Structure formats: structure tokens, C-alpha cells
Amino acid sequence: MTKIIFLILILLILGSFFIWQGIYLPKDLVGEEKLFLVEKGQGLFQIAENLEKEGLIKGNFYFRAYALLQGYTRSLQAGEYLLSPSMGIPEIVQKIISGDTAKIAVTIPEGFTVKQIEEGLGLSLPGENLEGFLFPDTYQFPINVNGEEVAVRMRENFDKKLTSDLKEEIEKQGKTIFEIITMASLIEKEVQTKEDKEMVSGIFWKRIELGKPLESCATIAYIKGVDQWRYSFEDTRIDSPYNTYLNPGLPLGPICNPGLESIIAAIYPKSSQYWYYLSTPEGETIFSQTLEEHNIAKAKYLK
């Protein structure tokens, strides 16, 4: 009888050890990550079998045992996960119950248009009036993200960046958010530094007050869909509500998605005696007080 009990104890110890190593020791010490799909409606047994088929765990029994003992059977979430056979079952389970799905990092540069964002992501971004309101930033998107999800995330980020203080200041100035973002989009495409953006903002708002055209080359680039170093006189005669050479005031709407620095410059312009500016091939901004000075600068820097 004693021998039988002893044998049972040995078997229990050995069984516990094999279960423990099956759960906590990974299938391989080194293994490449792969995408593993948990479809909606799949239960514990199906997920466990698929993990074994993909070579991610030693056996589906270990996965089922751990999830059952931990009470996770109803917590497994659908999605695509980056898993590796070098991960133990607790780590795999934790990923799936937390919904830590596979993601890609995407950086949207300041000044990108909706079209450029769509081309970069290979997606169509559903939604109206998106231009100007998709905040440029680095995002973590699920691998199979769709255009609507991207647009919602970027628009939500925009709403967070435009704080209540900034909105109050815009309202205090008697302007609309749409006007500010339209102005910011011009500034974003025209000059590079914070100081230059504030100065150009002051020039543009001053021109608008006096009913003078802004004459922004960036609007011609938007109309043509082509960035050029210089535009011809014929280009500036293109009939379009975005043409700031022909039409006084702001264009019909934003011409790109500006960053926060440009938005703040549009809200807080810097006053000066300048009415004109140009950018040199090296990126330096030359400001002028009179048209004569401006023409001299053009002859000097834009040969």
C-alpha cells in the first residue's frame, strides 16, 4: 500500500512538472514572431488548437489548462497578435486577454494633405471636411486598420491638441476655428521656423484686414497638385477659389494638415512693418516693407 501511495505521489509530481514546463517554458528558446488571428466567436478550444497548429505552443492542452485555471476563458479577445514560440503560455494568454493586437507605427508629417496621407497609407479616408483637421503625429495603428479608423483617430488627436484655451482665444479674436486652420495650413507650407511663421501670420492677417490678396504660392501648388520652386504668371491666373493671387482673403479651405506650431502662429501673429516676404533656395525668409524692396530681393535671391 505504501509503495502504491509513493508511486502515485511520484506520478503526481512528474505530471505537475510536465504541466508546469508545458505552460511556463516556451516551445523554443528562439523563434520568429508571426501573426496569429483570433477570429470573433472563437472559443478557448479552437484558439488552443490553432496555436498548436501554428507551432507557437507545445500542446493545446497546456493552453486550455492555464486559461481554465486562471479563469480567462471568457476574456480572450479577437484580433491579430504578434506571437512567437519563444513566449510562454502566460505571456501569450496575457496578450490575447488584454487585446494587445499587432500594430504598426505610422508618422504623418506636418503639412501632408489628405491625398498624401491616403497615398502613404494605401487607404481611403472616409469623412467630410478632413483637410486641415487630421493632426500630423506618430500613431500606432492595428495592422488591418481601415481608413475610417485612421480618420477618427487623427481627428480625435486634433481635438485634443486644440485646447480650450486656444479655442477661447480664437473666439475672443472673433475668428472661427476653420479660419485659423486655413491660415495655419498656408503658414505650414510657406515657411519653416517658428519665428518666420509668426511673422508671416502677421503679414497675412494684416493683408486680409485691408482686403489685399495674400498671394501665397502654396495655394497655387495645392491647385495644381505639384510643388514647384517657382510658378509662372499663368499659374497665378488659374480660376479657383483657392487662388490667393486672384481672390482676396483666405482660400476656400485648408490646403494641408498643419502642425501645432503653425496653428499657434495663426492664433498669435507677430506684428511688424513688413508686407512682403520670400524664401531663398536655402530656406531663409527675406522680409520687405515695400514692393520695391521685395522686387529687389526677388532679383537678388530668385535668379
Q: Where are the domains of the chain?
A: 24-98, 103-161, 164-272
Q: Which homologous superfamily is 24-98 in?
A: Endolytic murein transglycosylase (3.30.1490.480)
Angle at 228 (CA atoms; ends 127, 122), nearest 5 degrees: 35
Which distant-in-sequence residues (6+ apart) come within 8 Å of 17 by Cβ?
none
Give the pLDDT confidence of 46-104 residue by residue, as tens digits. 999 999 999 999 999 999 999 999 999 899 999 999 999 999 999 999 999 999 999 98
Q: In whole numbers, what is the pLDDT of the chain averaged over residues?
A: 91
Please give the DSSP secondary-structure letter assigned to residue 174.
Answer: T
Written as nine digits, the cell of 280 is 531663398
Q: Where are the alpha helices (DSSP H) in 145-269?
A: 147-161, 164-172, 177-190, 194-209, 217-224, 260-267
> Does an H or E element contain 103, and which?
strand 103-107
Angle at 49 (CA atoms; ends 29, 72), nearest 5 degrees: 85
Give the pLDDT confidence of 152-172 residue by residue, as tens digits. 999 999 999 999 999 999 999
The pLDDT confidence band at residue 14, using thresholds 50, 70 and 90, is low
**What local confidence, expressed as pLDDT, does residue 21 receive?**
75
Which distant-in-sequence residues (6+ apart) come within 8 Å of 66 by Cβ?
23, 72, 89, 90, 93
* CA atoms of 242 and 130, how far apart (whole Å): 16
**What local confidence, expressed as pLDDT, does residue 244 receive?**
97
**What local confidence, expressed as pLDDT, does residue 62 receive?**
92
